[in-house]
């Protein structure tokens, strides 16, 4: 799950709105006023909003309403959240027509769009689009790549991790697993070091965590320090380590969790991570 509604809005005329307008069944068909009603509903979610003249024209001329509505762009909406709210309100418009099967048809079309474009939402009952967490992880990863533009050091560290992750996924070799965790910890360390001005000393991830000031609570900082100690103490990840501390061999779930945790901490390691972009609203 990754895509945003803003990015795929341009596909919705073909995938959603035109099929909705063409609906026909033995018990009824889509009303001629559909696009007039949709344009009237979308008004409060746009930025800038249509003028009173544009709204009045759309109410009285279904053809012009259709043209105005179908040529809207994702960027015409105030935010990603505004599109979510509009799609929910559009369901009320469809339901108010009381045409047998019409509301279910709209839901099926929208579910198909969410699935086809791998969007970060789930359509729940009653008609509610749920924001889902996987989309935020994807947005975070996109943000990290944005931060790396113009910084060859960070770009190289993240590229090292991506190659290590790909290699482990292919080989399932325990050595490649350790390499993968080591590389992602190196990237987190590099990000924290860049934020601290790349100091010549005290530049380990554990030490850098103590120098950063954007922690909401000391325990959050300590959790990263402990994660760094795991990477340093478990034999073969970053150093020779301490075999006395090993409780079991590492498994794929350890690599996955360690990678997700270390990358997720990037929001604390760099003030340049855009929180709103990660949330995707």
**What's the token pair of residue 240?**
């020779």
Determine the pLDDT at residue 134.
Answer: 87
- Give the chain's residues under pLDDT 70: 1-2
Structural domain spans, the chain: 5-131, 136-279
Q: 41: closest CA among 80, 77, 79?
A: 77
| pTM of structure | 0.83
Q: State the first-to-last Cα distance of the chain, in angstroms, to the nearest integer.
A: 15
Q: Is the distance from CB of 20 to CB of 35 less than 8 angstroms?
A: no
pLDDT, tens only, 122-161? 999 999 999 998 889 989 999 999 999 989 999 999 999 9
Instruction: Tell me the C-alpha distance between 134 and 140, whole Å.
Output: 10
Contact between residue 69 and residue 42 where contact means Cβ atoms under 8 Å apart? yes
pLDDT at 26: 83
pLDDT computed for residue 281 by the predictor: 82
What are 3's strand-pairing partners? 119
Distance CA 24, CA 99 (A): 10
Q: Residue 172 and residue 214: Cα distance in Å, rounded?
A: 37
Per-residue model confidence (pLDDT) at position 2: 63
pLDDT of residue 28: 86
Joined tokens for residue 181: 């965790």
Q: Are 122 and 45 in contact (CB under 8 A)?
A: no
Q: What six digits make up the tokens of 136? A: 């935020």
């Amino acid at each position: 799950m990754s895509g945003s509604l803003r990015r795929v809005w341009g596909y919705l005329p073909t995938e959603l709105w035109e099929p909705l307008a063409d609906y026909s069944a033995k018990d009824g068909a889509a009303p001629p006023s559909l696009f007039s009603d949709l344009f009237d509903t979308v008004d409060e979610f746009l930025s800038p909003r249509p003028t009173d003249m544009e709204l009045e024209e759309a109410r009285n001329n279904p053809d012009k309403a259709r043209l105005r509505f179908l040529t809207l762009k994702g960027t015409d909406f105030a935010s990603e959240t505004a599109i979510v709210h509009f799609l929910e309100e559009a369901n009320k418009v469809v339901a108010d027509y009381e045409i047998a099967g019409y509301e279910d048809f709209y839901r099926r079309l929208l579910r198909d769009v969410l699935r086809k474009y791998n969007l970060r939402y789930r359509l729940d009952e009653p008609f509610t689009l749920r924001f889902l967490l996987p989309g935020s992880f994807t947005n975070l990863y996109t943000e990290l790549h944005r931060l790396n533009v113009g910084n060859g050091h960070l770009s190289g560290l993240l590229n090292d991790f991506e190659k290590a992750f790909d290699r482990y996924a292919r080989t399932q070799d325990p050595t490649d697993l350790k390499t993968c965790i080591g590389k992602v910890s190196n990237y987190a360390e590099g990000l924290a070091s860049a934020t601290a001005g790349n100091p010549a000393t005290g530049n380990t991830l554990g030490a850098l965590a103590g120098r950063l000031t954007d922690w909401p609570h000391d325990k959050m900082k300590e959790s990263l320090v402990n994660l760094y100690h795991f990477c340093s103490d478990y034999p073969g990840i970053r150093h020779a380590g301490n075999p006395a501390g090993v409780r079991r061999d590492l498994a794929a779930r350890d690599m996955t969790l360690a990678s997700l945790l270390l990358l997720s901490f990037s929001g604390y390691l760099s003030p340049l991570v855009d929180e709103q972009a990660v949330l995707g609203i």
